[in-house]
Structure 1
């Protein structure tokens, strides 16, 4: 069984993330969505909420692609998480050239730690390339419409989280 790991904070999961997940499913039999516990980023949604969003959004994708998709919280090194879940492939999504520079360095370090784990880069579909969770949250905070960037369920979760008391 070919197992891939797609790590991120997914705060919140966007249509760009879901595009990468769907496309990664064509490469592996099982895709583990590594939901990073990153206290430095100060996530809007708790770990439990982010895992629940991933699970809810990926149920239909799993059925559609035939790929098993599971959410897995992690706080250790990415390469150690890959070992923990039995992944031989790390999937990374790229939006722009700036992403590549950081990812290139990360691959080099991960290869030094464990050369048996390959990293695969997938470009988001053109209509999703500009989507970043950070920007989605900022637009939502300023009462902008994020429905083009997230699923209806995630849009609702954002609105509920950002409701201002009357």
Structure 2
């Protein structure tokens, strides 16, 4: 039976921090399901389809030819329910600092009450990616900054296209 880990997030966009977590999780699981949260009240920069394509493209490059299968799904309800539907034995969470730990330990406790058979695996971010957040990446890209140190090349191109089009529209 395959060991499946469920890695939830907005992935708006996928960053080198996300990639770091997937690389670590690939040593623990046979399959990783990236669950992209889709919430009607939130307006992401990229559509679900764009985010899913970026996640697939980036992770195919990173894990190319490896024995770990990666799939992408959308979910709009409880993370534990999405993980159950994916057949996951564990939730995968990345930790950048103590603030992340405090939040994630509370979530792990609540999730454990709702679904006792689902464990949470917390993976510490590698030092080089600890400061990276998708929010900061979007802000840097929106102001015309270089996001290359924070995201894979495919994502940097997508951000450049997204914001160069927006800047062209605003200058009219």
Name the structure 2 match of 1:35. 36
Matching of residues 1-166 of structure 1 within 5 Å: 1-163=2-164, 164-165=167-168
User: Aligned with 1:18: secondary structure?
Assistant: helix
Work out the CA distance in 2 between the residues paired with 1:147 and 1:58: 17
4+ residue runs of structure 1 moved beyond 4 angstroms? none
Deviations 1:14-68 (A, max 9, x none): 0110011111010000000011113444210011110010011111333353100
Task: Work out whether residues 8 and 35 of structure 1, in 8 Å CA contact, stay in contact via their aligned partners in 2.
Answer: yes
User: Aligned with 2:64: secondary structure?
Assistant: helix
TM-score, reference length from structure 1: 0.96
Task: Work out whether residues 9 and 38 of structure 1, in 8 Å CA contact, stay in contact via their aligned partners in 2.
Answer: no
TM-score, reference length from structure 2: 0.92
Work out the CA distance in 2 between the residues paired with 1:152 and 1:62: 15
Offset of 1:109 from its aligned partner? 0.8
Work out the CA distance in 2 between the residues paired with 1:155 and 1:162: 11
Task: Work out whether residues 22 and 65 of structure 1, in 8 Å CA contact, stay in contact via their aligned partners in 2.
Answer: no
Deviations 1:92-135 (A, max 9, x none): 00111111111111111111111100000001110000000000
Count the aligned residue pairs: 166
Work out the CA distance in 1 between the residues paired with 2:13 and 2:57: 12
How much is the aligned-residue C-alpha RMSD, in angstroms?
1.2
Work out the CA distance in 1 between the residues paired with 2:68 and 2:62: 8
Point out where structure 1 has 5 or more consecutive residues left out of the alignment. none
